[in-house]
Structure formats: structure tokens, C-alpha cells
Amino acid sequence: MDGRFLGAFAFAGFVVVPALRVVATVVSAAVLSLGFVVVVLDDGGTPAQAAASCAAPGTSAVSTVQPVPGSSVAGFDAAQMKNAAAIMKAASDLGLPVAAQLIGVQAAIGESTLRVIDFGDSAGPDSRGLFQQRDSWGPYADRMDPAKSSALFFKALQRVEGWESLEPTIAINRTQRNADPNHYTQFRAKATEIVKALGGEAAAMVDPSGVCPGEGNQIVGDLAGKWVKALPDAVMTSGYGPRPAPPGTAGGVLANFHYGIDFSTPGQAGTILAITDMKIVKIRNLEGMFGTGVTGQTLDGKLTIGMYHMEAGSLKVKEGDTVAAGTPLGTEGATGNVSGRHLHMEFYAGALPNPMIPINATIDPTPILKEKGIL
């Protein structure tokens, strides 16, 4: 059994139980180009909502916005939310996207629970402030100031090569240089809640990857009812149906059934294509076990197709787009709960906006693909 097949066999396509889903996200520069939410404070330091529209890095400055009073998140008091707003403003002042705002809040939750603390620990007795910055980071007064310490953090983050495409906890670890690179993962969900709360209406649709809602509803290509191979030159590495799962595989006993079909391109990553004309109804950016991928509905509403584990940042379509068969969707990857590069594809009967196992039952893609002459 080669390593590629093992990757598809061991993890890909096994049941995704909502309680087991863990957000582990990465945002590439390509994804960030979709836009970002900038959150500012008024002169009194009150949290303010995001700009009315998402602006890509390097575009014109956003207009002044009105504050959102009473922004709150369970488990965080007014002082903590104010500190989070200061972190987000520091990022926006440096022209950084919402992905950076999320990282900053995530880091500060992990370091200080969003409080300006005047003590360190055994590993860093001189650590102080929101980010537990040591003496080498700057003067004590700056480290104890939410705005200034946040600016120190973001400037250090920008010096981390490729920080935009790193998993957030890794980007933070390389900035903070703490012992456990995975320490910050547990704080991503709460950071997202806080950024969305402080960002107001314009941030409501921002997902944990830091992607701003894209303008979809485009028609791409000639809709002719064709079917094509989703991954040209690929071989099928795992079919639909029962198979023994390795011990410890996420999903428990339900993991002994493969709910989709897997393909892998020998030698190099292939380009994943829309298998038929479809409307894109769900975009996933490094979302839990799915990784990066898309879900689309056939235009007759009879079938919903999920295509997962694509390369981070490679998606070429947006939610709401209608794409023709053969339209490039992204690049074959190994994101999500996998150990090898491949495409995992799931079929569902009917038009479902966000299908999941075991809530929604899959159907075997094999006879459909054979009937269409592409398997």
C-alpha cells in the first residue's frame, strides 16, 4: 500500500460528525485578495463596526464608520472586548486584513485572556501585557499599552515569512516563539466570535479562515449539461462503501464506511474541475475535516456534490457562482483530516445547501460516473 493510497484510505471521506469538527485554518495570499474587514475605534476608544464593504489590501482607505454599542461575546467582559478592539484597530492601522485581526485576537486570548497583565511566568518572568511580550520587545510602558503592544505584535508577525499562508497557530508561534506551536488552536473559534461581534454587520459573514464574503452569482463558462472528469489523469484510490478504518480514526465506528470516492493524480497535484454544470453553494477554507473545497448543486436540483481536501488558497470560485462543466475549481491538495494528497468527492440526492454526514445520507457516485462515461 503506497503512501498516497494510505492517505486516502486512512482519513479521507470518513464521517464528519459536527461535534468532532475542529477549525484549523490557513489563509493564503490568494484567498486574502478577496478582501478584508477593517475595524476602527472612535476617538473615545469605543468598538466600531467594520467598513460597509470589504476592501482588498492596497485599495483605497475605508470610510469612517459608526460605533456598535454593547458588542459582547459570552465569557468576555467589557474590558476584554475593548482590548480586542484595540488589537483589531492596530491591525487596520497597519493596513492588515481581517486574517491578521483574527490572529492578533487569537494570540492575545492564548497569552492573557485579553487582559493587560502585569506579571509573567516561569518561562518568561519579564513577560507583560496582552501578548506577554518580554523586555526585548520594547519598553515596559509600550508592552502594557494595548495599542502599542498590538502594533509590536503585528510588526513582528509581518516579519514571519509567509505568515498569510501558515496555519494561524503556527504563525503566532513563530511570532511569539512559545514552546507549543499548537497552543493557540483552541482559541480560534472564540477569536472569530469576537471579531465578528466587533465588526458589526459587515463582519457577520467572515469565516474562521479570515475570508471576507466574496461577490458571487457569476456565470462561468458555457452551461451545456456536460460531464467531465473532476481530476484529469487521476486514478481512483478508494471507492464508495465499507472499509476498515485504522484505529483512532476520527468518526469512531462510523469511519468504517467510506462516504465518497477518492482520486489522486500520480506525481503532481492536478487541477480539480467542475464535474458538471453546477451552482456553488458552499465554500470551505481549511474547515475541519473537509479542509478546503466546494459544494455545488446540479442545475436540475437533483444532485449535490462535495469536493474536498483542495490546496489551501487555491479556490477559484465563490459561493453563488454558476460554473460550467470543466471550470477549474482549485488544486488537488491534502488539507483537512487526511495524510495524503487527493480529491474526495461526495454525492447527495437533492439540492442541499450544506450537506454533512451523518445528518445527510450520501449516495454512491460510482454508477452515476459510469453512466456519464467518466469512470
User: Which tens digits make up the pLDDT trace of 148-178?
Assistant: 999 999 999 999 998 877 778 889 999 999 9
pLDDT over 70 at 297, yes or no: yes
Higher pLDDT, residue 304 or 217: 304
pLDDT, residue 33, reads 27
pLDDT over 70 at 22, yes or no: no
pLDDT, residue 252, reads 55
pLDDT per residue as tens digits for the range 244-264: 766 666 555 556 788 899 999
pLDDT, residue 125, reads 94
Per-position DSSP letters for 143-194, written without gaps between them: HTSHHHHHHHHHHHHHTSTTGGGS-HHHHHHHHH--S-TTTTGGGHHHHHHH
Q: Please tell me whether the overall predicted TM-score, pTM, comes out greater than 0.75 for this model.
A: no
Q: Are 128 and 122 in contact (CB under 8 A)?
A: no
CA dihedral 255, 256, 257, 258 (to 10 degrees): 70
pLDDT, residue 338, reads 85
pLDDT, residue 296, reads 95
Mean pLDDT along residues 25-52: 31
Q: What share of the chain is helix, strand, coil (3-state, %, to 5)?
A: 30, 20, 50
> What pLDDT band is residue 31 in, cutting at 50, 70 and 90?
very low
Mean pLDDT along residues 215-227: 68
Mean pLDDT along residues 337-363: 87
pLDDT, residue 167, reads 77
Higher pLDDT, residue 301 or 156: 156
Q: How many CB atoms lie within 10 A of CB 274?
A: 27
pLDDT per residue as tens digits for the range 276-290: 999 999 999 888 788
Longest dimension (CA), the chain: 70
CB-based contacts of 371: which residues, under 8 Å, 6+ apart? none
Q: Are 83 and 144 in contact (CB under 8 A)?
A: no
How is residue 298 written as a grid cell? 446540479
Angle subtended at Cα 100 by Cα 99 and Cα 102, rounded to the nearest 5 degrees: 65
> What pLDDT band is residue 133 in, cutting at 50, 70 and 90?
very high
3 state SS of 92:
helix
> What pLDDT band is residue 46 in, cutting at 50, 70 and 90?
very low
pLDDT, residue 276, reads 95
pLDDT, residue 52, reads 27
> What pLDDT band is residue 101 in, cutting at 50, 70 and 90?
confident
> What pLDDT band is residue 197 in, cutting at 50, 70 and 90?
confident
For all residues of the chain together, what is the average pLDDT?
77
pLDDT, residue 269, reads 95
Mean pLDDT along residues 10-22: 33
pLDDT over 90 at 225, yes or no: no
pLDDT over 80 at 10, yes or no: no
CA dihedral 87, 88, 89, 90 (to 10 degrees): 50
